[in-house]
Every structure is written in C-alpha cells, then in structure tokens.
A and B are shown apart, each in its own frame.
Chain A
Amino acid sequence: GAGVSQSPSNKVTEKGKDVELRCDPISGHTALYWYRQSLGQGLEFLIYFQGNSAPDKSGLPSDRFSAERTGGSVSTLTIQRTQQEDSAVYLCASSRGGYPDTQYFGPGTRLTVL
C-alpha cells in the first residue's frame, strides 16, 4: 500500500509569513508524529497524535507551532510568523498505534525561510 505522503515537498517563504505543512499517514495507522531535522539540532520530536487522545505537544519549540489532525487521518503542522531558524526538513511518521510500535516516515517537507 501507499506510504506516508507529505506536501509540499519544498516550501520557500519569507520571514514573518505563516506556513502549513500537510501529512497523509498510512491507511489504518492511528498514531502520527511530526519531527524536525535541521543541521544544528539533528532529528527532533515535535508532536504526537494517538487516536482521539489529546496530542503530546511536549516537543513543540514555541507557541508559533501548532498541529491538527482531522478525522484521525490527515494532519497539518502550522508555523506562524516564521523565523529563519525554522528552516529545516519537517518529517511526518505514522504507526499502527500499538506497543511496541514502528514508525514509518514520509519524504519530508523542506522549509526555507528567507
């Protein structure tokens, strides 16, 4: 079946603008994760959704970052008032939601803030 998909693959924006990044998880996967990969910080966890439970937002770096998951499937990560330090590859992963669990990653969205 299809893997995790993300859109857009690349996004260039100006400092101060808002951006939305989209993730479509693998069909049937109930858990969804967002990570960020940057040169300086490596791979960092941002947020985790599991079914209808409240999301684990413990990795979000500031209140400019937020995420939603609609209908238990598609997720959107929103960054408001983007800063140059937000430039990174944003990776989405999904898993079946059991324990233990294996996360499968999408191709990522490369965000560049000018």
Chain B
Amino acid sequence: AQKVTQAQTEISVVEKEDVTLDCVYETRDTTYYLFWYKQPPSGELVFLIRRNSFDEQNEISGRYSWNFQKSTSSFNFTITASQVVDSAVYFCASSGSARQLTFGSGTQLTVLP
C-alpha cells in the first residue's frame, strides 16, 4: 500500500518569490514511481513529472525543479520566480506494484501579483 502526505494545505506567495511544495511518501514496494500533477482552476489534472525509485537525480525544467531523496522519503517540488499563472492545486502521487495512483491531499498555491 502507498501513502502520500502533503502537509501544506495552502501556501500564499507574492509573484517572483520561490516556493517549495513538500511531499512525503510511504511504500513497501521496492520499485515505485512518484508524480506531481497540477490542477488549475479549470479543474483538469495536468501531469508535470514522473520519477523512478531507482533514480534519485534531481531535475530542473525551466522554473520547476524537483528534489527526490529516498533517505527522507521525500519528493519536493520547487517553483522559482513564481507567477500568477502558477496558482493551482498541486498533487503529489505514487504508484508501485498496484498501477493506480495514490494521491496526497494537495497543496493550494496562490501567487499574488
């Protein structure tokens, strides 16, 4: 069974600030996958990134970066120089031997102009 915890319910920042969204996962699977999805006000879940349990390389994509640390079971997501359009609910999720996603409760990010 998988469990994903996003302790931050809501975060509010001013435009151009950096912001980090926390994600902690629990799993008994030796092979598992971690994901981040974005849900803007329109409601559709948009895939952002997938990481494999055997690859702890951090990743940067434009203003987005992800920090995966197995030692702390964390998969944190940072937005650099945030923009108003980044305002959304962000979900961390995992999958393992069972293919379905287990989601965290989400973090509502509000970026103020």
Contact = CB atoms under 8 A, between A and B. Distances in A.
A100 B45 CA distance: 19
Contact of A107 (B44, B47, B52, B104): B44
A23 interface: no
A33 B45 contact: no
B50 A102 contact: yes
Contact of B35 (A50, A102, A106): A102
Contact of A45 (B46, B91, B102, B104): B102
> Chain B CB within 10 Å — which of A33, A43, A101 has the most?
A43
A108 B100 contact: no
Given A100-B52, A102-B35, A102-B50, A59 B43 contact: no
Contact of B47 (A31, A91, A103): A103
B16 to A, nearest CB: 30
Contact of A56 (B42, B44, B47, B100): B100
Contacts of A59: 100
Contacts, number: 51
Interface residues of A, number: 23
A100 B93 CA distance: 14
B100 A91 contact: no
A102 B98 CA distance: 13
Interface string A34-66: 010000001101001010000010010000000
Contact of A105 (B45, B98, B104, B105): B45
B103 interface: yes
Interface of A: 31, 33, 35, 42-43, 45, 48, 50, 56, 59, 89, 91, 93, 99-108
Interface of B: 33, 35, 37, 42-47, 50, 52, 91, 93, 95, 98-106
When A and B form their complex, which 3 residue pairs have the shortest distance between CB atoms, in order from nearest? A105-B45, A43-B103, A45-B100
